[in-house]
Structures are given as structure tokens and as C-alpha cells.
Amino acid sequence: MSSRTGRVLVTGGAGFIGSSLTEELVKRGNKVIAIDIGKDPANLSRVLGKVNYINGDVRDRQLMKMVMSEHEFDGVVHLAAVSRVIWGEQDPDRCVDVNVKGTATVLEVASEMKCPPWIVFGSSREVYGEPSILPVREDHPKNAMNVYGRAKVEGEQLVRKYVRNCQSNGMNLRFSNTYGNERDILDRVIPNFILSALRGQPLNIHGGGQVFDFTHIDDVVGGILNATDYLRQKRERAECISEDVHLSTGKGTSLEELVRIISDSLGNMPEVVYSGGRKYDVENFVGDPTKAREVIGFSAKLLPHHGVPRTIKRFKEAFGL
């Protein structure tokens, strides 16, 4: 079996990133099993006939054991999570239960396999909290300032422990403000701004002046694929590694600049309304992409001034606006 066509389990496989990744894995010839707590796999409609879709919860040890015992996975891309900072603040117990216990369950069951699979863990820039210096390198201190960020820190630690104990391979990929298609959570900043502008509604900025490293979904999926290839190659060479890597552009974009990009794309300036900031929100993040380039050969291709207009086009088509 070639290094690019293994059997892969994608948890959270019907979500925004998970479904986009699953499509690309199928195109490459991978056998994909996608598990997701959502009962509607509509995001996978293009590949449902080619994917083994399982509606289930990664916290269910019996289910995970059944899934992993039935399939000899080469690797696992673990994306299942309570995936928003605000949701973690609204229901911290559930966030910790899903993001920490769920990750622990996946890794514990994987460790019991005859040949423990490589692991890609979907982490986040939130592990750093408010960084002291930009751009942020992967060795920057971890001072998560919200429930979601702290849960991701614990998840990363579990992956490192798994690699040590199982003599396998793992990579914590730290995502940064991923955007780019209609499968996104629509009240996140870019889809919210785009839909509001298309509907002639005001754009609400909490605080103002924030700068983030907005990363297009096509780049993120490409980075994950690079990571899977890297881990497969290490496994074939009987090398055991654990890496923390950013998937980011290395370029910061302010929310105000984001509004201008949307305005230029639509040919009109939407109304902007400012409201108070939230104490659990990070204000600034730009990720240093050097390690991603050197370790997995990843460089983002779509900066916001190209990626946002492309996203606007997709939203117009998807929502009839």
C-alpha cells in the first residue's frame, strides 16, 4: 500500500474541516471512515458513496473500539471537538468532556491496536492565549485564556503521551481562523461578515483593532494532507516523532482590513457596528509558518485578499444571494 493511499479515520468527519479533508482524501485514493456526532452528513454528499460514514460520539469507548477493531487504520485525523471558544464558555463541562475525554478515548483505543496508527490532532492558536510576541513560534509559552484553549493544551499533551507510549507518530496542527466555504459555522467572523454584507445588514465587531492570521480551508486541508504524508513516511522508516506545527499564513489581517476586503469585493461599504470586547477572546495572533514549511513543506497560498473574494463567490452560489 503506497504512502498516499492508506486507510484513515477522520473524527468530526462531517464538520467544516473534516468534510473538506475527507473529500480530498477520497480523491487521493484513501479508504476513509468518517465518524461524526451529527446525524446529517450533508457536507459529505459528494463522497457519501465512497466513504464509510458512522454517526457516533468519540467519547463512546465501545463504539470507538468496534470501529478500530473492524478497520486496520494507518492513521487517525482527530478533528471532533466543541469547536468554538464561545461554546466552551457557555458550556465548559461539555467542552472539556468532548475535547479532552473524547481525545483520550480515541487515543486509548488506538493504543490497543496491533499497530497503533499515526495521529494528526486538530489543535488551535488558542493554546497560546494572548501572545507576547508576533509572529508566534510553536515553542511560545502556552497561556490559554479560555476553556477551549486549555482543553486543546490538554489534548496536545495526550497526543505526545500516546506517541511516547506507543512508539508511534503524532502531530498537533494548530489551526488559525480557518474560513473559506459554506460548510463553516456561519456566525464565525468571516462567514458572519460576508452574509451580513450580502444581506445589507451591519457588521458587528467585538472590541476592534484585533489582528488575526486568517487561513483558507484549501490551505488548511493541504497542510493536513502534507502532515499525513510526513507521518506515513516516518512510520515506514520506523521513526517515532511528535511535532507541533502551525497551519497559518504568517500574515496578520485586522478586522477593519477584512471589512475593506469585503467592501472592495462587493462594491459597497457595509455599516460597521462596534460592541464591547469579550474577556475570553484573544486580541492578536499571527503564526510563524517557518516550521510548517521546513517540516511538512507547507506554505499557505491564499491570503485573505484572494481567499475572501473566493469565499464570497461560494456563499453567493450556496445561499442564492
Residue 40 pLDDT: 82
Partners of 274 in the β-ladder: 205
Q: 62-66, 68-72, 108-112, 157-161: lowest mean pLDDT where?
A: 68-72
pTM, full prediction: 0.96
Q: 321 in helix, strand or coil? A: coil
Indicate where the chain has its CATH 3.90.25.10 domain(s): 180-212+251-285+302-319
CA pair distance 210, 183, nearest whole angstrom: 24
For the chain, give the mean pLDDT.
Answer: 95
Rounded distance, CA 156 to CA 267, Å?
43
pLDDT at 207: 86
Q: Specify the CATH number for 180-212+251-285+302-319; select among 3.40.50.10320, 3.90.25.10, 3.40.50.920, 3.40.50.300.
A: 3.90.25.10
* pLDDT beyond 80 at 1: no
- Please, which pLDDT band fits residue 277 given cuts at 50, 70 and 90? confident
Element (H, E) at 63: helix 61-70
Span 226-275, pLDDT tens digits? 999 999 999 999 999 999 999 999 999 999 999 999 999 999 999 999 99
CATH top class, domain 7-178+217-247? alpha beta
SS3 of residue 45 by DSSP: coil
Name the pLDDT band for 2 (thresholds 50, 70, 90).
Answer: very low
pLDDT tens, residue by residue, 87-118 = 999 999 999 999 999 999 999 999 999 999 99
Per-residue pLDDT tens for 207-240? 889 999 999 999 999 999 999 999 999 999 999 9
Say yes or no to pLDDT of 19 above 60: yes
> Where in the sequence of the chain do the CATH 3.40.50.720 domains occur?
7-178+217-247
Query: What is the rounded distance in angstroms from the CA atom of residue 126 to the CA atom of residue 143?
Result: 9
pLDDT band at residue 79 using 50, 70 and 90 as cut-offs: very high
